[in-house]
Structure 1
Amino acid sequence: MEEGADQRGETMVAKGKLLARRSGVVMAVVAFGGLTVGTTAQDIEDLPAKEIAEKAIDASRTADSFRINAKGVSDVGNYRVEVSIEKQGDCRGTDDTDDRSAQYTKIGDTTYTRGNDAFWRNYATWWNSDDQAEQRVVEIMRDRWLKAPAGADALSLTEWCDVDYWHHGLKTGGLKKAGAAEVDGQSAITLTRERAGVTDRWYVATEGQPYILKYTSSGGDYPFESTVNDYNKPIDVKAPPADDVIELNRLRELF
Protein backbone atom coordinates (compact mmCIF):
# COMPACT_ATOMS: atom_id res chain seq x y z
CA MET A 1 0.00 0.00 0.00
CA GLU A 2 1.46 3.31 -1.00
CA GLU A 3 2.28 6.04 1.45
CA GLY A 4 0.84 9.59 1.73
CA ALA A 5 0.29 10.19 -2.00
CA ASP A 6 -1.95 7.16 -2.39
CA GLN A 7 -3.80 8.02 0.80
CA ARG A 8 -4.52 11.50 -0.51
CA GLY A 9 -5.54 9.97 -3.82
CA GLU A 10 -8.21 7.93 -2.08
CA THR A 11 -9.55 11.15 -0.61
CA MET A 12 -9.80 12.72 -4.07
CA VAL A 13 -11.70 9.71 -5.38
CA ALA A 14 -14.21 10.21 -2.61
CA LYS A 15 -14.45 14.01 -3.03
CA GLY A 16 -17.99 15.31 -2.88
CA LYS A 17 -19.17 12.76 -0.32
CA LEU A 18 -20.47 13.95 2.99
CA LEU A 19 -18.99 12.12 5.97
CA ALA A 20 -16.60 9.14 5.78
CA ARG A 21 -14.62 10.67 2.93
CA ARG A 22 -11.38 9.85 4.55
CA SER A 23 -8.42 8.25 2.92
CA GLY A 24 -7.24 6.77 6.19
CA VAL A 25 -10.40 4.71 6.59
CA VAL A 26 -10.15 3.33 3.09
CA MET A 27 -6.56 2.33 3.68
CA ALA A 28 -7.41 0.98 7.12
CA VAL A 29 -9.99 -1.53 5.97
CA VAL A 30 -8.92 -2.23 2.43
CA ALA A 31 -6.54 -4.84 3.78
CA PHE A 32 -8.93 -7.26 5.43
CA GLY A 33 -8.69 -10.96 4.64
CA GLY A 34 -10.90 -14.02 4.37
CA LEU A 35 -10.76 -17.74 3.63
CA THR A 36 -7.60 -18.68 1.81
CA VAL A 37 -8.41 -21.27 -0.83
CA GLY A 38 -5.91 -24.12 -0.89
CA THR A 39 -3.89 -22.81 2.05
CA THR A 40 -4.39 -23.43 5.75
CA ALA A 41 -3.24 -21.21 8.57
CA GLN A 42 -0.87 -23.97 9.62
CA ASP A 43 1.30 -23.54 6.51
CA ILE A 44 0.54 -19.89 5.64
CA GLU A 45 3.55 -18.69 7.63
CA ASP A 46 5.90 -20.76 5.48
CA LEU A 47 5.02 -18.76 2.35
CA PRO A 48 6.77 -15.55 1.22
CA ALA A 49 5.19 -12.38 2.61
CA LYS A 50 3.84 -11.20 -0.76
CA GLU A 51 2.17 -14.55 -1.38
CA ILE A 52 0.61 -14.56 2.07
CA ALA A 53 -0.89 -11.16 1.38
CA GLU A 54 -2.08 -12.03 -2.12
CA LYS A 55 -3.79 -15.23 -1.00
CA ALA A 56 -5.54 -13.38 1.82
CA ILE A 57 -6.78 -10.64 -0.53
CA ASP A 58 -8.01 -13.09 -3.16
CA ALA A 59 -9.77 -15.26 -0.59
CA SER A 60 -11.42 -12.45 1.38
CA ARG A 61 -14.11 -12.06 -1.26
CA THR A 62 -15.45 -15.52 -0.37
CA ALA A 63 -16.42 -14.59 3.20
CA ASP A 64 -20.18 -14.40 3.67
CA SER A 65 -19.83 -11.50 6.10
CA PHE A 66 -17.35 -9.65 8.31
CA ARG A 67 -17.08 -6.71 10.69
CA ILE A 68 -14.55 -3.87 10.43
CA ASN A 69 -13.49 -1.48 13.20
CA ALA A 70 -11.19 1.38 12.27
CA LYS A 71 -9.92 4.55 13.90
CA GLY A 72 -7.38 7.13 12.90
CA VAL A 73 -6.66 10.59 11.55
CA SER A 74 -7.61 11.98 8.15
CA ASP A 75 -7.65 15.32 6.39
CA VAL A 76 -11.12 16.00 7.83
CA GLY A 77 -10.35 15.08 11.44
CA ASN A 78 -10.25 12.15 13.80
CA TYR A 79 -12.54 9.30 12.81
CA ARG A 80 -13.92 6.04 14.11
CA VAL A 81 -15.85 3.59 11.93
CA GLU A 82 -17.59 0.30 12.56
CA VAL A 83 -19.34 -1.56 9.74
CA SER A 84 -20.75 -5.07 9.38
CA ILE A 85 -21.08 -6.23 5.77
CA GLU A 86 -22.74 -9.18 4.11
CA LYS A 87 -21.34 -10.49 0.83
CA GLN A 88 -24.43 -9.54 -1.17
CA GLY A 89 -24.13 -5.91 -0.04
CA ASP A 90 -26.46 -5.47 2.92
CA CYS A 91 -24.77 -3.77 5.85
CA ARG A 92 -25.09 -1.62 8.95
CA GLY A 93 -22.57 0.62 10.62
CA THR A 94 -21.62 3.78 12.46
CA ASP A 95 -19.41 6.65 11.36
CA ASP A 96 -17.98 9.34 13.65
CA THR A 97 -15.76 12.24 12.63
CA ASP A 98 -15.04 14.88 15.25
CA ASP A 99 -18.49 16.25 16.20
CA ARG A 100 -20.42 14.51 13.39
CA SER A 101 -21.92 11.09 13.95
CA ALA A 102 -24.14 8.85 11.86
CA GLN A 103 -25.63 5.37 11.69
CA TYR A 104 -26.45 3.75 8.38
CA THR A 105 -28.15 0.64 7.05
CA LYS A 106 -28.39 -0.75 3.53
CA ILE A 107 -30.97 -3.34 2.54
CA GLY A 108 -31.02 -4.25 -1.12
CA ASP A 109 -31.19 -1.01 -3.11
CA THR A 110 -32.40 1.11 -0.19
CA THR A 111 -30.34 3.00 2.36
CA TYR A 112 -31.25 4.49 5.73
CA THR A 113 -29.14 7.11 7.51
CA ARG A 114 -29.58 8.68 10.96
CA GLY A 115 -27.22 11.37 12.21
CA ASN A 116 -26.77 13.84 15.00
CA ASP A 117 -27.50 17.58 14.60
CA ALA A 118 -23.96 18.36 13.43
CA PHE A 119 -24.22 15.68 10.77
CA TRP A 120 -27.48 17.03 9.32
CA ARG A 121 -26.28 20.61 9.49
CA ASN A 122 -23.23 19.60 7.50
CA TYR A 123 -25.46 17.71 5.07
CA ALA A 124 -27.57 20.81 4.49
CA THR A 125 -24.51 22.86 3.55
CA TRP A 126 -23.97 20.61 0.53
CA TRP A 127 -27.21 22.01 -0.88
CA ASN A 128 -26.06 25.61 -0.37
CA SER A 129 -28.91 26.12 2.06
CA ASP A 130 -29.32 29.18 4.26
CA ASP A 131 -29.34 29.10 8.05
CA GLN A 132 -33.11 28.73 8.24
CA ALA A 133 -33.13 25.77 5.87
CA GLU A 134 -30.30 24.15 7.80
CA GLN A 135 -32.27 24.47 11.02
CA ARG A 136 -35.38 22.98 9.40
CA VAL A 137 -33.35 19.99 8.24
CA VAL A 138 -31.87 19.51 11.70
CA GLU A 139 -35.28 19.65 13.35
CA ILE A 140 -37.08 17.32 10.94
CA MET A 141 -34.25 14.74 10.93
CA ARG A 142 -33.64 14.69 14.66
CA ASP A 143 -34.01 11.03 15.79
CA ARG A 144 -35.19 10.07 12.29
CA TRP A 145 -33.76 8.07 9.40
CA LEU A 146 -33.37 9.36 5.86
CA LYS A 147 -34.54 6.78 3.29
CA ALA A 148 -32.95 6.98 -0.15
CA PRO A 149 -32.11 4.77 -3.12
CA ALA A 150 -28.59 3.39 -2.80
CA GLY A 151 -26.13 5.77 -4.46
CA ALA A 152 -28.78 8.41 -5.12
CA ASP A 153 -27.81 10.93 -2.46
CA ALA A 154 -24.75 12.90 -1.37
CA LEU A 155 -24.54 10.94 1.90
CA SER A 156 -23.22 7.76 0.22
CA LEU A 157 -22.08 6.27 3.51
CA THR A 158 -23.30 2.90 2.32
CA GLU A 159 -20.84 2.76 -0.56
CA TRP A 160 -18.82 0.92 2.06
CA CYS A 161 -21.28 -1.96 1.84
CA ASP A 162 -19.59 -3.11 -1.36
CA VAL A 163 -17.14 -5.88 -0.46
CA ASP A 164 -14.93 -5.16 -3.49
CA TYR A 165 -14.65 -1.50 -2.50
CA TRP A 166 -12.33 -2.44 0.32
CA HIS A 167 -9.87 -4.16 -1.99
CA HIS A 168 -9.48 -1.11 -4.20
CA GLY A 169 -5.88 0.04 -4.50
CA LEU A 170 -4.33 -2.56 -2.21
CA LYS A 171 -0.58 -3.01 -2.77
CA THR A 172 1.32 -6.10 -1.62
CA GLY A 173 4.80 -5.13 -2.81
CA GLY A 174 7.55 -4.57 -0.30
CA LEU A 175 6.05 -6.62 2.52
CA LYS A 176 8.36 -8.67 4.74
CA LYS A 177 7.69 -11.26 7.41
CA ALA A 178 8.43 -9.89 10.88
CA GLY A 179 7.77 -12.69 13.35
CA ALA A 180 4.94 -13.95 15.51
CA ALA A 181 2.32 -11.82 17.25
CA GLU A 182 -1.01 -12.13 19.05
CA VAL A 183 -4.23 -10.25 18.24
CA ASP A 184 -7.16 -10.55 20.64
CA GLY A 185 -5.87 -13.90 21.86
CA GLN A 186 -5.25 -15.28 18.35
CA SER A 187 -1.81 -16.25 17.09
CA ALA A 188 -0.65 -14.36 14.02
CA ILE A 189 2.30 -13.67 11.75
CA THR A 190 3.27 -10.05 11.17
CA LEU A 191 3.97 -8.58 7.74
CA THR A 192 5.58 -5.14 7.55
CA ARG A 193 6.53 -2.55 4.96
CA GLU A 194 8.37 0.76 5.37
CA ARG A 195 8.30 3.49 2.74
CA ALA A 196 9.02 7.21 3.06
CA GLY A 197 8.62 7.14 6.83
CA VAL A 198 5.33 5.20 6.75
CA THR A 199 5.18 1.76 8.38
CA ASP A 200 2.38 -0.65 7.45
CA ARG A 201 1.74 -3.80 9.49
CA TRP A 202 -0.50 -6.74 8.67
CA TYR A 203 -1.38 -9.43 11.23
CA VAL A 204 -2.43 -12.74 9.64
CA ALA A 205 -3.90 -15.60 11.69
CA THR A 206 -1.79 -18.75 12.01
CA GLU A 207 -4.47 -20.82 13.73
CA GLY A 208 -7.70 -21.80 12.05
CA GLN A 209 -8.30 -19.96 8.79
CA PRO A 210 -5.57 -17.47 7.76
CA TYR A 211 -7.56 -14.26 8.16
CA ILE A 212 -6.00 -10.84 8.39
CA LEU A 213 -6.83 -9.91 11.96
CA LYS A 214 -5.45 -6.40 12.12
CA TYR A 215 -3.90 -3.72 9.93
CA THR A 216 -2.11 -0.56 11.01
CA SER A 217 -0.23 2.34 9.46
CA SER A 218 1.98 4.74 11.39
CA GLY A 219 4.44 7.52 10.75
CA GLY A 220 2.54 9.29 7.96
CA ASP A 221 -0.07 12.01 7.71
CA TYR A 222 -2.93 9.49 8.07
CA PRO A 223 -2.14 6.98 10.82
CA PHE A 224 -4.82 4.39 11.52
CA GLU A 225 -5.57 1.08 13.16
CA SER A 226 -8.18 -1.39 11.98
CA THR A 227 -9.36 -4.85 12.93
CA VAL A 228 -11.50 -7.27 10.95
CA ASN A 229 -13.43 -10.02 12.68
CA ASP A 230 -16.74 -11.91 12.90
CA TYR A 231 -16.10 -13.54 9.54
CA ASN A 232 -19.10 -15.52 8.25
CA LYS A 233 -21.27 -14.59 11.23
CA PRO A 234 -24.88 -13.58 10.42
CA ILE A 235 -25.63 -9.84 10.46
CA ASP A 236 -28.98 -8.61 11.75
CA VAL A 237 -29.85 -5.96 9.15
CA LYS A 238 -33.34 -4.49 9.59
CA ALA A 239 -35.15 -1.44 8.28
CA PRO A 240 -36.05 1.16 10.94
CA PRO A 241 -39.71 1.62 11.96
CA ALA A 242 -41.70 3.38 9.25
CA ASP A 243 -42.77 6.14 11.65
CA ASP A 244 -39.11 7.09 12.12
CA VAL A 245 -38.31 7.38 8.40
CA ILE A 246 -38.22 10.48 6.18
CA GLU A 247 -38.19 10.03 2.40
CA LEU A 248 -35.41 11.77 0.46
CA ASN A 249 -37.84 13.71 -1.74
CA ARG A 250 -39.56 15.18 1.31
CA LEU A 251 -36.26 16.33 2.80
CA ARG A 252 -35.16 17.95 -0.44
CA GLU A 253 -38.30 20.09 -0.40
CA LEU A 254 -36.75 21.98 2.52
CA PHE A 255 -33.88 23.36 0.42
Structure 2
Amino acid sequence: MTKTFGTWTVAVLAAVAMGLSGCGSDSGSARTSGAKDEKAGDSSPKGKDSRGRPATGRAGTSNGVEKLPATEIAEKASEALRSADSVRLLAKGANLRMDRAGNCAGTVTFQPGSPSRLIRKGEKIWLKPEDSYWATKQGKAVRAKVPGAEGKYFAGTKSSLALGLPSLMCDANPLRQDLFSKVGKWTKDGLVTLGGRKAVVLRGTTAEGASAAFFIATEGKPLPVKVESERSSKGSPQGGQATFRLTDYDEPVTVTPPGDSIDVSKVESLFIS
Protein backbone atom coordinates (compact mmCIF):
# COMPACT_ATOMS: atom_id res chain seq x y z
CA MET A 1 0.00 0.00 0.00
CA THR A 2 2.94 2.33 0.61
CA LYS A 3 3.93 2.07 -3.03
CA THR A 4 0.43 3.15 -4.00
CA PHE A 5 0.54 6.07 -1.58
CA GLY A 6 3.62 7.45 -3.30
CA THR A 7 2.00 8.09 -6.69
CA TRP A 8 -0.30 10.91 -5.73
CA THR A 9 1.85 12.12 -2.87
CA VAL A 10 4.61 13.02 -5.31
CA ALA A 11 2.20 14.68 -7.71
CA VAL A 12 0.78 17.05 -5.13
CA LEU A 13 3.77 17.62 -2.88
CA ALA A 14 6.07 18.42 -5.78
CA ALA A 15 3.90 21.40 -6.56
CA VAL A 16 3.08 22.59 -3.07
CA ALA A 17 5.57 21.45 -0.48
CA MET A 18 8.67 20.99 -2.58
CA GLY A 19 8.97 24.29 -4.32
CA LEU A 20 6.75 23.82 -7.37
CA SER A 21 9.14 21.40 -9.00
CA GLY A 22 6.24 20.07 -11.02
CA CYS A 23 6.59 16.33 -10.61
CA GLY A 24 3.30 14.64 -11.43
CA SER A 25 1.09 12.93 -13.94
CA ASP A 26 -1.43 15.62 -14.87
CA SER A 27 -2.05 15.69 -18.57
CA GLY A 28 -2.35 18.70 -20.82
CA SER A 29 -0.47 21.95 -21.21
CA ALA A 30 0.56 24.15 -18.34
CA ARG A 31 -1.38 26.92 -20.12
CA THR A 32 -4.79 25.28 -19.73
CA SER A 33 -7.73 27.56 -19.06
CA GLY A 34 -9.01 25.63 -16.04
CA ALA A 35 -12.01 23.94 -17.66
CA LYS A 36 -10.74 20.47 -16.71
CA ASP A 37 -10.18 21.51 -13.11
CA GLU A 38 -13.85 22.30 -12.64
CA LYS A 39 -14.35 18.50 -12.56
CA ALA A 40 -11.89 17.94 -9.74
CA GLY A 41 -14.60 17.27 -7.18
CA ASP A 42 -15.72 20.77 -6.13
CA SER A 43 -19.47 20.58 -5.64
CA SER A 44 -19.82 24.22 -4.61
CA PRO A 45 -21.53 26.59 -7.05
CA LYS A 46 -18.99 28.11 -9.41
CA GLY A 47 -17.38 31.15 -7.85
CA LYS A 48 -18.93 30.40 -4.47
CA ASP A 49 -17.73 28.75 -1.30
CA SER A 50 -19.59 25.91 0.42
CA ARG A 51 -21.97 28.40 2.03
CA GLY A 52 -22.83 30.04 -1.27
CA ARG A 53 -20.67 33.09 -0.59
CA PRO A 54 -18.15 34.53 -3.07
CA ALA A 55 -15.03 32.38 -2.74
CA THR A 56 -12.55 35.24 -2.60
CA GLY A 57 -14.54 38.23 -1.38
CA ARG A 58 -17.53 40.28 -2.54
CA ALA A 59 -18.60 39.24 -6.04
CA GLY A 60 -18.24 41.96 -8.63
CA THR A 61 -15.97 44.08 -6.42
CA SER A 62 -12.77 44.59 -8.37
CA ASN A 63 -9.58 44.69 -6.34
CA GLY A 64 -7.64 46.27 -9.21
CA VAL A 65 -4.60 43.99 -9.00
CA GLU A 66 -4.63 43.34 -12.73
CA LYS A 67 -3.53 46.95 -13.22
CA LEU A 68 -0.42 46.55 -11.08
CA PRO A 69 3.06 45.38 -12.13
CA ALA A 70 3.54 41.63 -11.90
CA THR A 71 5.83 41.80 -8.86
CA GLU A 72 3.32 43.89 -6.90
CA ILE A 73 0.51 41.48 -7.77
CA ALA A 74 2.62 38.62 -6.41
CA GLU A 75 3.30 40.56 -3.21
CA LYS A 76 -0.38 41.31 -2.64
CA ALA A 77 -1.41 37.73 -3.39
CA SER A 78 1.25 36.41 -1.03
CA GLU A 79 0.01 38.72 1.72
CA ALA A 80 -3.61 37.64 1.13
CA LEU A 81 -2.63 33.97 1.28
CA ARG A 82 -0.73 34.49 4.54
CA SER A 83 -3.82 36.08 6.09
CA ALA A 84 -6.17 33.22 5.17
CA ASP A 85 -7.20 30.84 7.94
CA SER A 86 -8.21 27.86 5.79
CA VAL A 87 -8.39 26.63 2.21
CA ARG A 88 -9.55 23.75 0.09
CA LEU A 89 -6.97 22.13 -2.18
CA LEU A 90 -8.20 20.36 -5.31
CA ALA A 91 -5.72 18.39 -7.38
CA LYS A 92 -5.62 15.19 -9.36
CA GLY A 93 -6.11 12.56 -6.68
CA ALA A 94 -6.75 14.99 -3.81
CA ASN A 95 -9.67 16.97 -2.41
CA LEU A 96 -8.61 18.27 1.00
CA ARG A 97 -9.70 21.04 3.35
CA MET A 98 -6.89 22.43 5.50
CA ASP A 99 -6.47 25.15 8.07
CA ARG A 100 -3.56 27.05 9.50
CA ALA A 101 -3.70 25.03 12.72
CA GLY A 102 -2.87 21.88 10.77
CA ASN A 103 -6.32 20.28 10.74
CA CYS A 104 -6.99 18.42 7.51
CA ALA A 105 -9.87 16.36 6.11
CA GLY A 106 -10.99 15.11 2.73
CA THR A 107 -10.31 12.43 0.16
CA VAL A 108 -7.26 11.13 -1.65
CA THR A 109 -7.23 8.65 -4.53
CA PHE A 110 -4.31 6.27 -4.61
CA GLN A 111 -5.55 3.94 -7.33
CA PRO A 112 -8.57 3.66 -9.66
CA GLY A 113 -11.75 3.21 -7.67
CA SER A 114 -13.52 5.12 -4.94
CA PRO A 115 -11.42 7.64 -2.99
CA SER A 116 -9.96 7.04 0.44
CA ARG A 117 -10.95 9.24 3.36
CA LEU A 118 -8.12 11.04 5.15
CA ILE A 119 -8.35 12.88 8.47
CA ARG A 120 -5.57 14.53 10.41
CA LYS A 121 -5.72 16.32 13.73
CA GLY A 122 -2.39 17.32 15.18
CA GLU A 123 -0.07 14.32 15.05
CA LYS A 124 -2.91 11.83 14.68
CA ILE A 125 -3.91 10.37 11.30
CA TRP A 126 -6.92 8.33 10.22
CA LEU A 127 -7.26 6.69 6.83
CA LYS A 128 -10.24 4.77 5.47
CA PRO A 129 -9.10 2.85 2.36
CA GLU A 130 -11.12 3.01 -0.83
CA ASP A 131 -13.59 0.18 -1.43
CA SER A 132 -11.50 -1.31 -4.24
CA TYR A 133 -8.56 -1.78 -1.86
CA TRP A 134 -10.27 -4.64 -0.06
CA ALA A 135 -10.31 -6.75 -3.22
CA THR A 136 -6.53 -6.54 -3.56
CA LYS A 137 -4.13 -9.17 -2.26
CA GLN A 138 -3.00 -6.83 0.49
CA GLY A 139 -6.56 -5.89 1.44
CA LYS A 140 -7.53 -9.53 1.76
CA ALA A 141 -4.49 -10.15 3.99
CA VAL A 142 -5.51 -7.27 6.26
CA ARG A 143 -9.05 -8.62 6.53
CA ALA A 144 -7.70 -12.05 7.38
CA LYS A 145 -5.58 -10.63 10.19
CA VAL A 146 -8.23 -8.21 11.48
CA PRO A 147 -11.73 -9.55 10.78
CA GLY A 148 -14.20 -6.71 10.36
CA ALA A 149 -11.56 -4.24 9.20
CA GLU A 150 -13.32 -3.45 5.93
CA GLY A 151 -15.15 -0.14 6.10
CA LYS A 152 -13.21 1.10 9.12
CA TYR A 153 -10.49 3.71 9.53
CA PHE A 154 -6.90 2.86 10.33
CA ALA A 155 -5.49 5.10 13.06
CA GLY A 156 -1.89 6.10 13.62
CA THR A 157 0.45 9.07 13.76
CA LYS A 158 2.73 11.01 11.45
CA SER A 159 5.58 8.73 12.46
CA SER A 160 3.69 5.62 11.35
CA LEU A 161 5.38 3.85 8.46
CA ALA A 162 2.00 3.05 6.92
CA LEU A 163 0.26 6.39 7.42
CA GLY A 164 3.27 8.71 7.32
CA LEU A 165 3.19 9.16 3.56
CA PRO A 166 -0.55 9.88 3.34
CA SER A 167 -0.16 12.43 6.13
CA LEU A 168 2.28 14.33 3.91
CA MET A 169 -0.69 15.22 1.73
CA CYS A 170 -1.87 17.37 4.62
CA ASP A 171 1.62 18.83 5.03
CA ALA A 172 1.24 20.18 1.48
CA ASN A 173 -0.73 23.01 3.05
CA PRO A 174 -0.42 26.21 0.97
CA LEU A 175 -1.27 28.27 4.05
CA ARG A 176 1.92 27.00 5.67
CA GLN A 177 4.13 27.17 2.59
CA ASP A 178 5.61 30.42 1.26
CA LEU A 179 4.75 29.58 -2.33
CA PHE A 180 5.46 32.98 -3.81
CA SER A 181 8.99 33.17 -2.41
CA LYS A 182 9.91 30.11 -4.47
CA VAL A 183 9.20 31.85 -7.77
CA GLY A 184 10.90 34.82 -9.45
CA LYS A 185 10.99 36.77 -12.71
CA TRP A 186 7.28 37.48 -12.61
CA THR A 187 5.39 38.53 -15.75
CA LYS A 188 1.70 39.12 -16.42
CA ASP A 189 -0.06 36.99 -19.01
CA GLY A 190 -3.51 38.52 -19.30
CA LEU A 191 -6.86 37.71 -17.77
CA VAL A 192 -8.80 34.43 -17.78
CA THR A 193 -12.18 33.35 -16.44
CA LEU A 194 -12.31 30.52 -13.90
CA GLY A 195 -15.66 29.40 -12.57
CA GLY A 196 -17.28 32.55 -13.92
CA ARG A 197 -14.82 34.91 -12.22
CA LYS A 198 -11.85 36.81 -13.56
CA ALA A 199 -8.25 36.08 -12.61
CA VAL A 200 -4.99 37.62 -13.73
CA VAL A 201 -2.28 35.17 -14.72
CA LEU A 202 1.23 35.53 -13.30
CA ARG A 203 4.09 33.49 -14.73
CA GLY A 204 7.52 32.92 -13.27
CA THR A 205 10.31 30.41 -12.79
CA THR A 206 11.83 28.71 -9.77
CA ALA A 207 15.45 28.15 -8.86
CA GLU A 208 14.91 24.45 -9.64
CA GLY A 209 13.99 25.26 -13.23
CA ALA A 210 10.22 24.88 -13.03
CA SER A 211 7.89 27.27 -14.78
CA ALA A 212 4.89 28.33 -12.72
CA ALA A 213 1.59 30.07 -13.39
CA PHE A 214 -0.45 31.61 -10.57
CA PHE A 215 -4.05 32.64 -11.24
CA ILE A 216 -4.91 35.56 -8.93
CA ALA A 217 -8.49 36.65 -8.24
CA THR A 218 -9.29 40.16 -9.49
CA GLU A 219 -12.45 40.36 -7.35
CA GLY A 220 -12.52 40.39 -3.57
CA LYS A 221 -9.21 39.46 -1.97
CA PRO A 222 -6.35 38.90 -4.45
CA LEU A 223 -5.97 35.26 -3.52
CA PRO A 224 -4.46 32.56 -5.73
CA VAL A 225 -7.25 30.38 -7.08
CA LYS A 226 -5.18 28.07 -9.24
CA VAL A 227 -1.51 27.14 -9.60
CA GLU A 228 0.17 25.27 -12.44
CA SER A 229 3.77 24.19 -12.67
CA GLU A 230 5.81 22.48 -15.33
CA ARG A 231 9.35 21.23 -15.27
CA SER A 232 11.36 19.92 -18.16
CA SER A 233 12.19 16.24 -17.86
CA LYS A 234 15.48 16.60 -19.70
CA GLY A 235 18.24 15.28 -17.46
CA SER A 236 15.89 15.06 -14.49
CA PRO A 237 13.62 12.31 -13.15
CA GLN A 238 11.39 15.02 -11.71
CA GLY A 239 10.00 16.34 -14.97
CA GLY A 240 6.28 16.71 -15.53
CA GLN A 241 3.31 18.91 -14.74
CA ALA A 242 1.16 19.59 -11.71
CA THR A 243 -2.02 21.61 -11.32
CA PHE A 244 -4.09 22.41 -8.26
CA ARG A 245 -6.93 24.73 -7.39
CA LEU A 246 -7.41 26.68 -4.18
CA THR A 247 -10.94 27.54 -3.08
CA ASP A 248 -13.24 27.88 -0.04
CA TYR A 249 -10.85 30.23 1.74
CA ASP A 250 -11.62 30.88 5.42
CA GLU A 251 -14.26 28.15 5.58
CA PRO A 252 -14.21 26.20 8.88
CA VAL A 253 -12.42 22.85 8.67
CA THR A 254 -14.38 20.27 10.63
CA VAL A 255 -12.21 17.42 11.86
CA THR A 256 -14.13 14.67 13.62
CA PRO A 257 -12.01 11.64 14.58
CA PRO A 258 -13.87 8.40 13.81
CA GLY A 259 -15.24 6.64 16.84
CA ASP A 260 -14.40 3.14 15.63
CA SER A 261 -10.95 2.63 14.16
CA ILE A 262 -8.17 0.06 13.99
CA ASP A 263 -4.69 0.66 15.35
CA VAL A 264 -2.57 0.57 12.20
CA SER A 265 0.31 -0.99 14.11
CA LYS A 266 -1.66 -4.27 14.10
CA VAL A 267 -1.33 -4.54 10.32
CA GLU A 268 1.55 -2.21 9.55
CA SER A 269 3.79 -5.04 8.42
CA LEU A 270 1.23 -5.86 5.71
CA PHE A 271 0.99 -2.22 4.59
CA ILE A 272 4.70 -1.83 4.02
CA SER A 273 5.34 -5.23 2.46
TM-score range relative to shorter protein: 0.5 to 0.7
Partner of 1:172: 183
1:17 and 1:155 in contact (8 A); partners too: no
1:151 and 1:159 in contact (8 A); partners too: no
Partner of 1:246: 262
Q: Deviations over 1:139-196 (max 9, x none)?
A: 6542110111233333222233343654469622133101111111221111124799
Partner of 1:109: 123
Q: RMSD of the TM alignment (CA)?
A: 4.0
Q: CA deviation at 1:237?
A: 1.6
Instruction: Give the aligned residue type for 1:94.
Output: T
Q: CA deviation at 1:84?
A: 0.2
Q: CA deviation at 1:202?
A: 1.5
Quickly say closer, same or farther: Cα 1:202–1:145, change in 2 above 3 A: same
Quickly say closer, same or farther: Cα 1:246–1:180, change in 2 above 3 A: same
Quickly say closer, same or farther: Cα 1:85–1:137, change in 2 above 3 A: farther
Partner of 1:206: 218
Higher strand fraction (1 or 2): 1
State the distance in 1 between where 2:82 and 2:136 align.
34
Quickly say closer, same or farther: Cα 1:121–1:137, change in 2 above 3 A: farther
State the distance in 2 between where 1:228 and 1:143 align.
30
Q: Secondary structure at the match of 2:213?
A: strand
If the length of structure 2 is used for normalisation, what is the TM-score?
0.64
Match of 1:155 among 163, 180, 205: 163
Q: Secondary structure at the match of 2:188?
A: strand
Q: Secondary structure at the match of 2:256?
A: coil
1:74-89 superposed matches below 5 A:
80-89=93-102
Equivalent pairs counted in the alignment come to 220
Query: Structure 1 residue 223 and structure 2 residue 241: aligned?
Result: yes
1:29 and 1:70 in contact (8 A); partners too: no
1:1-255 superposed matches below 5 A:
18-19=5-6, 22-29=9-16, 42-71=63-92, 80-99=93-112, 101-116=115-130, 133=141, 136=144, 141-156=149-164, 157-162=166-171, 163=173, 166-167=177-178, 171-193=182-204, 200-217=212-229, 220=232, 221-242=239-260, 245-252=261-268
Q: Secondary structure at the match of 2:220?
A: coil
Structure possessing the higher relative contact order (Cα contacts under 8 Å, 6 or more residues apart): 2
Percent identity, please. 26
State the distance in 2 between where 1:123 and 1:210 align.
48
If the length of structure 1 is used for normalisation, what is the TM-score?
0.68
1:28 and 1:70 in contact (8 A); partners too: no
Give 5+ residue unaligned stretches, structure 2: 21-54, 233-238
Quickly say closer, same or farther: Cα 1:122–1:191, change in 2 above 3 A: farther
